[in-house]
Structure 1
Amino acid sequence: MVKLIKEVKESFKATFKVEPLLVFSPGRINIIGEHTDYNDGFVFPAAVDKGIAAAIQKSDTGSCTAIALDLDSKIEFDLDKLKPSKEGSWENYVFGVVAEIQNRNKVVGDFNIVFKGNIPGGAGMSSSAALENSVVFGLNELFELGLTKTEMILISQKAEHNYVGVNCGIMDQYASMFGIKDNALHLDCRTIQSKPYKIDFKKHQFILINTNVKHSLSDSAYNDRRSACESIATLLDVKALRDATEADLEKIIDKVTPTNYQKALYVIQENERTLKAAKAIEDNDLERLGKLIYQSHAGLSDQYKVSCDELDFLVAQAKKNKYVLGARMMGGGFGGCTINLVARNEVNAFEETVSKAYKNKFDKECSVYFIELSNGTHLVK
C-alpha cells in the first residue's frame, strides 16, 4: 500500500507540479451473503488491504484531468459537459461520481486526479466501488462539501447505476467506505446500518483464489437476476425478498418458473445464512462458519446459477482438503475469486495443490492472494 501511494503521489507531482491530497480506498471481500444486498437483505463484507490510491488537487486550467496510471490512460473533461462515455470505460466511474454530487446541488470546482490500484482485475473485490469512493471522498475533502460517509456511498452507488449501467446494491461501496481493521461488517442493506464483528481467526486465515476468467454473462445476468427477484417480491406483495419466508414462496410456486422459484429460494436461504454466520463468529465457531460458506456456494451454483466450471472446480478442490473449513465463489459470479478459510500452517501446501490441479484441468493459471481485513476509505497523511 505504501509503495502504491508513493507512486501515485510522485506521478501527480511530476504532472501537475503541486502537492496533492492522498486518499486510499480499499477493495472488499464478502464472507457470506451474496446477491442478498439488492434484495434489502444482510451481507457480511470486510474491507481489505488492497485497493485504490488516489492523488487529487484543484485545477486552475479551466478543465479537469483524470489519469488511470495502471491503464496508462488520461482524459480531460469539463464539469458542465458530463455525460457517460462509451460502455466499459473507466472514466464513467469518475464522471458518474461528479455528476451525482452535482445532482445534490453541491459545487465541485475543476480538479485533477491520478489513481492506481492493486486490486486484481475481475477478482470480484470491487475495484469499481473503491474507485468511486476515492473520488467522492477526495472531492468532499477538497471542496469542503460536507457530505457524510453515508451520503458519499449513495453517490458512488448512483454513479454505478446511471453512468456504468450496473444496478448494484450498496454492499461494495459500504464495505469500502466503512471498513474496520480486523472486523467484518454484518450489514443490513435496508437500513444501511452494520454491526462490526471482530473475527478471532485462531489458526486460520482467508485466502482468495482467482480463476482469472470473467465470462461475459456477468453484467446482463446480474441485472436479469435482480429483476427476477423484484418481480417475485411484487407477486408476494412484499417490499423485497428480505421480507419473504420459504412458506410464503411455497404459496406462489405455480405462478413462477421453476428456475425463478429456485433463485428466490436461494436469496431467502442465503439471508438466513448470514444471520447464522454472525452467530458463529460471535461463538468463535469457525467450523460452523465454514459449513455455512460451503452451503452458500452450493446455493449460488445450483439455485442462483451464477457460478461457472472454474469456480466450482476450485470449491471442489477445497472440499477435498481437511484443512479448509469453507470455500465459495465471491462476487457477482461467472468468474472471479473463491474465498477460502484455511488453516494457517497449511496454506502453502493448499495453494500448491490447487494451482497444479487447476492448471491441469483448464490449462491456465489461477492466482492466490493473501489478504488482511483493513480500515475503510481514508485520507493518507
Structure 2
Amino acid sequence: MDAAILRTALRDAFPDVDLATMRIVRAPGRVNLIGEHTDYNDGFVLPVAIDLRAWIAFVRTRDRRVEIVLGDGARDGFDLDAIGEPRHGWIDRLAGMAWSLGELGLDLHGLRGVLLSEIPMGAGLSSSAAIEIAMAWALRDERPPLAPMKLALAAQHAENSFIGVRSGLMDPFASACGQRDAALMLDCRSLDYRAVPLPLDPYALVACDTRAPHRLESSEYNARRAQCEAAVEIVARAHPEVRSLRDVTMDMLPAIGVIDQVARRRAEHVVRENERVALAVEALEAGRMDSVGRLFAESHASLRDLYEVTSPELDALVEIAVATPGVVASRMTGAGFGGCTVNIVERGAVERLRHAVEREYPARTGRQPAIYVLAATGGAGEVAA
C-alpha cells in the first residue's frame, strides 16, 4: 500500500496530528497449505505469509490513549490503563493485543492511527491475526516489539483469554514469522519451525474466496476443540502418557469410538492430517507436485467427512478447481464453515481457473467469488513513511 494513501487517511482522520512524525507498520495475512485444525492439538502446520496485509499509520502521543479509525470511517479507542472487558466489536482485537502485551509488563505508548487492510474479512486468510500483530508493532518502540515467536504467543493469548476464541498459534505465527518465497513448517508443541522453499516458479498460489464468511466466535469452532479434548481424555484413561491428539496413534482410535463416535472422527482427522503435513513437506522439497495434489485432496475430504467444517461453497470451489486443467492441488484452508480454498496452479492456467470459477461457482451457489493470486512474503515489520 502506498505511503501517500496512508498519509492522506491519517490526515483526514486526525487533522491536528504532526504528519512529520508518522510511522507505518504492516503485518501479512496467511494461507495454510496443509495441517488444518492441528495447531491447537499440538500438531504440525504449513502456513505461508501472504502479500495481503494489514497496515497501521500512526503518530505517537504523550497520553495513554489509543484512537483508531478504519478505512470506512469507523472510530473507536481505549485507554491503556483501563482496557476493561471486550465490547464485542472490531476494537477488541486491538485492545486485546494491548492487554496481552501489558500482561507481559511491556511499556506501551498511546497513539492516533488509521487501520487499513488488504485482507478480506471473514475469508479465512487471518485478517484478525494480522491486525493484532500490526497493533503490537505500533504500540511498542522496540524493533521488533518482541521476538517473533513471543509476539505470536502474545497474540494467541489475546485471542484465547481476552476475545474468548480458543484458536491455535498458526495464524499469528505466520504473520509474525513469515519468510519470503517459503512456507513454514511449525511444530505447535515444541515451537520449532523451519522454512520450506516453495517451488513456485512454474506455479502460482491462488486463493478462491467463497464470499460466505465464517465467524470464529461461533460455537462450532470451540465445539471442535472440545471434541478433540474429549478424545484425548478417553485415550488417556488407558494411555496416561497421551497429552493431546499429537500423541494419539491410529490403533488408539477404536477405543474412542466405543464411547464417542464424533470425537473419534475428529481424532482420526487430526492424526492423519499431521502425517499429511510431513508428507507434503517431503513432496514439496522433492518437487513431486502430483503427491502434493493427492495430499490436498485427502485433507479436504477429511475436513469434509471427519471434521465436518467444509461447506457447500467450499466443496464447489474445490470440485471446480480439480476439474480445471493445470490445477495441481486444491483444498479448503483456514477454520472452514466458509472462507477460502488454496490452490497450486500452473502459471499458464491461472486465468483458466479464474474463468471456470467465475462461470460455474455463481451458478452452483448463487454467490460471487473472489480470486487472489498470492505471493509468499516476509513477516510483520515497520516500513518507511
Give TM-score, length-normalised by structure 2. 0.93
CA distance in 2, matches of 1:314, 1:85: 35
Contact 2:64/2:80, CA 8 A, preserved across alignment: no
Query: What are the residue-to-residue correspondences of 1:6-25 with 2, within 5 Å?
Result: 6-13=4-11, 15=14, 16-18=17-19, 19-25=21-27
Following superposition, the deviation at residue 266 of structure 1 comes to 0.5
Distance 1:145 1:330, change over 3 A: closer
Matches within 5 A, 1:1-381: 1=1, 3=2, 5-13=3-11, 15=14, 16-18=17-19, 19-61=21-63, 63-69=65-71, 71-87=72-88, 89-140=89-140, 142=141, 147-214=146-213, 219-237=218-236, 238-256=242-260, 258-381=261-384
Give secondary structure in 1 for the equivalent of 2:218. Answer: helix
SS at structure 2 position matched to 1:97: helix
Specify whether residues 357 and 146 from structure 1 end up closer, same or farther in structure 2 by C-alpha distance, changes over 3 A only. closer
Q: Secondary structure at the match of 2:67?
A: strand
Shift of 1:325: 1.5
Shift of 1:264: 0.7
Q: In 1, Cα distance between the equivalents of 2:146 and 2:201?
A: 39
Alpha-carbon contact 1:183-1:196 (below 8 Å) kept: yes
RMSD of equivalent CA atoms: 1.8
SS in 2 for 1:115: strand
Q: Secondary structure at the match of 1:82?
A: coil
- Which consecutive unaligned segments of at least 5 residues does structure 1 have? none
Q: Mark the CA change 1:147 to 1:355 in structure 2 (over 3 Å): closer, same or farther.
A: same
Deviation (angstroms), 1:216: 5.9
Amino acid at match of 2:113: I
CA distance in 1 between counterparts of 2:66 and 2:349 reads 50
Whole-Å separation in 2 of the counterparts to 1:252 and 1:163: 32
Contact in 2 for aligned 1:13/1:20 (Cα 8 Å): no
CA distance in 2, matches of 1:328, 1:125: 14
CA drift of 1:252 comes to 3.2
Q: For residues 39-72 of structure 1, give each alpha carbon's deviation from its aligned partner in whole angstroms, at most 9, with x where no partner exists.
A: 0000000101001011233213553212222x32
Q: Contact 2:123/2:339 (CA < 8 Å) preserved in 1?
A: yes
Shift of 1:92: 0.4
| Cα gap change, 1:358 to 1:146, in 2 (>3 Å) | closer
Unaligned runs of 5+ in 2: 237-241
Q: Which range moves more in the overlay, 101-110 or 131-140?
A: 101-110
* 1:95–1:216 CA distance, 2 compared to 1 (3 A): closer
% identical equivalent positions: 32
Alpha-carbon distance between aligned partners in 1 of 2:365 and 2:50, rounded to the nearest angstrom: 29
CA distance in 2, matches of 1:7, 1:41: 41
Q: 1:327 to 1:64 in 2, by over 3 A?
A: same
Find the aligned partners of 1:9 and 1:179 in 2 and give their Cα distance. Answer: 26
Q: Which amino acid aligns with 2:74?
A: S
- Taking structure 1 as the reference length, what is the TM-score of the superposition? 0.94
- Report the AA paired with residue 198 of structure 1: P
CA distance in 2, matches of 1:145, 1:134: 11
Give the Å deviation of 1:77.
2.3
- Write the distance in 2 (CA, Å) between the matches of 1:325 and 1:276: 16
Letter matched to residue 25 of structure 1 = A
Instruction: Give how far 1:110 is off.
Output: 2.2
Q: Matched residue pairs, number?
A: 375
Distance 1:177 1:217, change over 3 A: closer
Give the direction of change, closer, same or farther, for the CA distance of 1:226–1:207 in structure 2 (3 Å limit): same
TM-aligned CA distance change 1:305 to 1:359, over 3 Å = same
